Structure 1
Amino acid sequence: MVKLKLGPIADDKPVRVTVELSAVLHRDLVAYAEILARETGGAVAAPSRLIPLMLERFISADRGFAKARHERRSGSAGRQL
């Protein structure tokens, strides 16, 4: 295997995804945005702005996912292509 000076290049370009939400969930997101704006003194954000932040927080706090991801990476690190 060739050892290059550069490591992997992060793909940080946003990806657009379309999802359908229940009316109840949408109302909860709107209410959440209103409460957040009141608490922080900022503007009320659209639910579409909250969803990525909530997903990032959820994934980063999921210890089971972090462990499985670490094990998956560790298991594939020893293999050569």
Structure 2
Amino acid sequence: MSKLKLGTIEDDKPVKLTIELPAAVHRNLVAYAEAIGRESGQPAPDPSKIVAPMIERFMATDRAFASARKSKRSIVAN
């Protein structure tokens, strides 16, 4: 099996956010949590616990977003 983009899920102080997901996205989220459990040899995390790390990983690897943040930072610094 190939390496998943998400590893262990850190326990951090959360900010509550309520969202609605399409059923297909939820099914895939549950399947991804199960894959994390299998890969780690631990029980599958609650699907709601992997949403934030997934979004964080997505934003960390989005070059256009990083560039936009960098540009905004330089404007604010000046």
TM-score by length of 1: 0.76
Kindly report which structure 2 residues correspond to 1:32-71, keeping only aligned pairs within 5 A, or say none.
Answer: 32-71=32-71
- Structure 2 residue 2 is matched with structure 1 residue 23: no
How many pairs does the alignment contain?
Answer: 67
Runs of at least 5 residues in structure 2 that lack an aligned partner in the other structure: 1-11
Deviation at 1:47, TM superposition (A): 1.2
Identity level (%): 51
Q: Give the letter aligned to residue 34 of structure 2.
A: E
Q: Secondary structure, in 3 states, of the residue corresponding to 2:44?
A: coil
1:45–1:13 Cα change, 3 Å: closer
Counterpart in the other structure of 2:3: none
1:14–1:64 Cα change, 3 Å: same
Counterpart in the other structure of 1:7: none
Deviation at 1:13, TM superposition (A): 5.6
Counterpart in the other structure of 2:6: none
Q: Give the letter aligned to residue 63 of structure 1.
A: R
TM-score by length of 2: 0.79
Question: What's the RMSD between the two structures over aligned residues?
Answer: 1.5
**TM superposition outliers: structure 1 runs of 4+ over 6 Å:** none
Instruction: Work out which of the two has the higher radius of gyration on C-alpha atoms and give 1 or 2.
Output: 1
Deviation at 1:76, TM superposition (A): 1.6
1:55–1:39 Cα change, 3 Å: same
